[in-house]
Amino acid sequence: MRFTSIASGSSGNCTYVGSDNTHILIDAGTSKKRIQEGLNKLELDFDDLDAIFVTHEHVDHIGALHTILKKHNIPVYATDGTIQGIRKSDKKNEMTGSVFCPVQADKSLCVGDMIVNPMTISHDALEPCGYRIYCGDKKIGVATDLGCYTDYTVECLSGCDALLIEANHDVKMLQAGPYPYMLKNRILGDKGHLSNEKSGELLCKILNDKMKGVFLGHLSKDNNFPELAYETVRVAVDMGDNPYSSGDFPIMVANRAELSPVIEF
């Protein structure tokens, strides 16, 4: 399997998961050109994609979907609520002929040689979800836009070989920053975004002997720095109540505007 982030941040998100035979995207929230460039670096094109899975309908997760679907017949998988939100965003009726396939949390489906299992997440969208992807005995987890995590989240992400989790903001930067009070409260709330500290806390609960690498994703441009996210999570792992250290596996901050390193296993 190959796993990487094509783009990740508050301005746009797109993740690639693939095997020798099956290629999927999770979200298409950056520009079509940027996604094209990322796929080309993976020696792929849009016509190679078997599916696009969408986590929720916010523009930083579906921004390029309309233009992609105008020219490419790629099935789109999302929850009923997310599909409803995507259709509302289609002001120019660019997706009328597109194939939308409803998914439900904790109900697995097959795409090629992969099994995809959605998971419920806490975010201020219509029906958001994260995804667990299985191929043979390998498991990948993608969970961003988490206002909070629960025992259910930990259970869903346990046993992953690789992972992309949110490390959106530094709490002190956000609190001291220029955002309006209401927006700060939204981000800090249970349906907002996961802080660096909470990301490290969650990671400590789901580390395992199989872990090949972790991407920290969906960083805020205004309330975080890549170095700060990395260092906060690294310290949390090293100081946490777990048998692992941050040197046992790569921790990488997913690039905002270009392809991140590829995890292969």
Residue 113 domain-assigned (yes or no): no
Reported as a pLDDT band with limits 50, 70 and 90, residue 32 is very high
Residue 92 pLDDT > 90: no
Q: How many domains does the chain have?
A: 2
Rounded Cα gap, residues 70 and 17, in angstroms: 23
Same domain? For 98 and 194 the reply is: no
Mean pLDDT over each residue of the chain, to the nearest integer:
96
Rounded Cα gap, residues 116 and 125, in angstroms: 21
Helix and strand element counts for the chain (H, E): 9, 14
Residue 37 domain-assigned (yes or no): yes
The residue with tokens 């692992």 is 244
Residue 138 domain-assigned (yes or no): no
| Model confidence, pTM | 0.97
Residue 175 domain-assigned (yes or no): yes
Rounded Cα gap, residues 107 and 118, in angstroms: 7
Residue 129 domain-assigned (yes or no): no
Query: What are the pLDDT digits (tens) for 216-255?
Result: 999 999 999 999 999 999 999 999 999 999 999 999 999 9
Query: What are the pLDDT digits (tens) for 239-250?
Result: 999 999 999 999
Structure tokens at 172: 């002190």
Residue 93 pLDDT > 90: no
Range of the domain at 65: 1-103
Rounded Cα gap, residues 184 and 182, in angstroms: 5
| Residue 178 burial class via C-beta count within 10 angstroms: exposed 0-12, middle 13-18, buried 19 and up | exposed
Residue 264 domain-assigned (yes or no): no
